[in-house]
Amino acid sequence: MKRPVTSGRQAPRGPSQRQLRAGELVRHALVEILRAEEITDPDIAGVSITLTEVRMSPDLRHATVFVEPLGGGEQATVVVKALNRHHKFLRGRLGHAIDMKFTPALKFLHDETFDTAAKMSRLFADPRVAQDLAPHEPSDSWKDADTVQEGD
């Protein structure tokens, strides 16, 4: 027997409040863990890493951590690979730092939003684009057409 099609509420778009809260909890805990500098990996040693966002799966068992090392560039891929190599160690420390039923599995990715923002800034700084963004004063021919219409 087929289920009747209901035209009620649609599925929510984007993460739930629960996912957002758990993501921020995990992000803050990971910041403290990385600040303690317990990982002795030469690829991470002395590198300042920004954890920009943590996206949690709906069941809160998986976390995707977006990172951006200070300086970015090619160093970003090295740092992301190093963090993914140490994901089990970080998950173990995270389990002691947070109070959740399950400690999420961690996956680290490079955050591309900084690169995208820099690209957009370069585009807006281009003189060809800047001339379109600047406010223009009406041309004289437009003013003349206005005065002719007013006189009629």
pLDDT in the model for residue 11: 65
The strand order across the sheet containing 49-56 reads 49-56, 62-69, 105-110
Inter-CA distances, 101 with 1, 12, 38, 53, 61, Å: 38, 24, 25, 21, 9
Q: Could you tell me which of 53, 54, 44 has the C-alpha nearest to residue 79?
A: 44
Residue 21's Cβ-side half-sphere holds a number of Cα atoms within 13 Å equal to 5
Residues 6+ apart with CB under 8 A from 20: 56
Q: Write out the chain's pLDDT in tens, 152 residues.
A: 666 665 566 666 788 899 999 999 999 999 999 888 888 888 888 888 889 999 999 999 999 999 998 876 778 888 899 999 999 999 999 999 998 899 999 999 998 877 777 788 887 777 777 777 667 665 555 555 555 555 55
- Secondary-structure percent of the chain, ordered helix, strand, coil, rounded to 5: 50, 15, 40
pLDDT in the model for residue 108: 94
pLDDT in the model for residue 3: 64
pTM surpassing 0.85?
Answer: no
| 116-129 exposure pattern, b = at least 16 Cβ within 10 A, e = fewer | eeeeeeeeeeeeee
pLDDT in the model for residue 27: 95
pLDDT in the model for residue 4: 60
pLDDT in the model for residue 109: 93
Q: Could you tell me which of 99, 85, 81 has the C-alpha nearest to residue 26?
A: 99
pLDDT in the model for residue 150: 53
